[in-house]
Amino acid sequence: MAIGFLIHKTLFSKTKCVKPKVNLDFQKDNPKVVHAFDIEELGDKAVYCRCWRSKKFPYCDGAHTKHNQETGDNVGPLIIKRKDA
């Protein structure tokens, strides 16, 4: 009887699972974190963080490597570079 109740509760529960947040601690008082850069400011290459773990955010410091090892994730940086002529 108890097993049936647990199965029913698991399958038909109206509570939704909350997915974990990506941004754990950066600018949490800001409703939406946005960064904009002029192309002229970028130089030849810019590397931006996408894992939200970088101590130099919005720039990548390689923190995604540890994050990926710990979580099995596969996130990497956004790399913007000047097109070779």
Determine which one of 32, 45, 55, 83 is catalytic.
32
Nearest to 35 by CA among 43, 24, 46: 46
Pinpoint the alpha helices (H) of 1-85.
2-12, 39-42, 63-71
Does 28 participate in catalysis according to the annotation?
no
Any idea which residues carry the catalytic annotation?
A: 32
